[in-house]
């Protein structure tokens, strides 16, 4: 059985500069994987590589099919959605229109049902359905960005630092929601996150990137027990 996502010997380039130097990483169906690492280690580049937003070499396989060289549109159509750092909601559009925009790629008639699911999951968004996304709080915008990405019914959701800039209590709510999504939506996730403690609670496995290569990988429990991980990311 092949993994949902398999990166093999992944190299990524900005112009001629190589930023990932042969990364191997796998994500199983419905599995949550966290990627830790210092600033500049290449975490964002790894997510961008999956979406083919940077030039890559090596293998980027989704259910065994090569994504390398495909258009980002094609990658999305094959079941990948990304919530970029800084959220990327459509600020001028209402909450409702943002959710509908997220479902644009779908041909089925369940878009309204899914929007109702997200309003049930995030009552704050339901209350503010006619409000423009740009006037929501940071936490509400992040919830909207996640719901919008999931409106395409992806098999794989890529999240880049979802907790960045949010108050601790909002961060906890966000991770509760991600745990609910993990349980209810059968979607695999790759989560890049500075908040290692919460991310390791959510994830089954984890990778630590250092200067464009994988320095440590293992189960979330193994990484929690790893002394270098504890010192650098968990602070004890």
The residue (of 29 and 210) whose beta carbon lies closer to ligand ATP is 210
The residue (of 192 and 200) whose beta carbon lies closer to ligand ATP is 192
Q: For residue 223, give the nearest of 203, 176, 172, 190 by alpha carbon.
A: 203
Binder to ligand ATP among 16, 39, 113, 130 (CB under 6 A)? 39
Most distant pair of Cα atoms in the chain: their distance: 50
Binder to ligand ATP among 6, 7, 10, 43 (CB under 6 A)? 43
Binder to ligand ATP among 5, 7, 34, 41 (CB under 6 A)? 41
Q: How far is the CB of 193 from ligand ATP (least distance, A)?
A: 10
Q: How far apart are CA 164 and CA 178, in angstroms?
A: 15
Binder to ligand ATP among 5, 31, 42, 175 (CB under 6 A)? 42
Q: How far is the CB of 185 from ligand ATP (least distance, A)?
A: 25
Q: Which residues contact 11 (CB under 8 A, 6 or more apart)?
A: 18, 20, 21, 22, 23, 56, 57, 58
40 contacts ligand ATP (rule: CB under 6 A)? yes
Region 8-37 residues binding ligand ATP, contact defined as CB under 6 A: 14, 17, 19, 37
The residue (of 19 and 143) whose beta carbon lies closer to ligand ATP is 19
Query: CA angle at residue 33 from 30 to 39, to 5 degrees?
Result: 150
Region 208-227 residues binding ligand ATP, contact defined as CB under 6 A: none
Binder to ligand ATP among 33, 36, 44, 128 (CB under 6 A)? 44
Q: How far apart are CA 15 and CA 64, in angstroms?
A: 27
Q: Is 214 helix (H, G, I), strand (E, B) or coil?
A: strand
User: Beta-strand (E) ranges in the chain?
Assistant: 5-14, 17-27, 32-37, 55-62, 65-66, 80-83, 156-160, 188-192, 205-210, 213-219
Q: How far is the CB of 63 from ligand ATP (least distance, A)?
A: 25
Q: How far apart are CA 206 and CA 218, in angstroms?
A: 6
162 contacts ligand ATP (rule: CB under 6 A)? no
For ligand ATP, the binding residues (CB under 6 A) are 14, 17, 19, 37, 39-45
């Amino acid at each position: 059985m092949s993994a949902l996502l398999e990166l093999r010997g992944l190299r990524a380039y900005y112009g001629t500069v190589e930023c990932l130097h042969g990364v191997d990483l796998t994500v199983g169906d419905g599995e949550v994987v966290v990627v830790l690492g210092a600033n500049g280690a290449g975490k964002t580049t790894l997510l961008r590589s999956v979406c083919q937003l940077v030039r890559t070499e090596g293998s980027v396989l989704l259910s065994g099919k090569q994504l390398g060289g495909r258009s980002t549109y094609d990658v999305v159509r094959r079941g990948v959605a990304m919530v970029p750092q800084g959220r990327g909601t459509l600020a001028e559009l209402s909450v409702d229109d943002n959710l509908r925009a997220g479902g644009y790629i779908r041909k089925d008639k369940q878009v309204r049902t899914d929007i109702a699911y997200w309003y049930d999951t995030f009552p704050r968004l339901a209350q503010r359905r006619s409000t423009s996304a740009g006037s929501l709080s940071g936490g509400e915008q992040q919830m909207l960005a996640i719901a919008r990405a999931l409106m395409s019914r992806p098999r794989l959701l890529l999240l880049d630092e979802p907790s960045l800039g949010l108050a601790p209590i909002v961060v906890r709510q966000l991770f509760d929601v991600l745990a609910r999504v993990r349980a209810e939506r059968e979607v695999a996730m790759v989560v890049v996150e500075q908040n290692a403690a919460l991310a390791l609670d959510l994830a089954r496995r984890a990778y630590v990137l250092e200067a464009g290569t994988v320095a440590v990988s293992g189960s979330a429990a193994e990484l929690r027990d790893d002394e270098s991980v504890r010192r650098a990311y968990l602070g004890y």
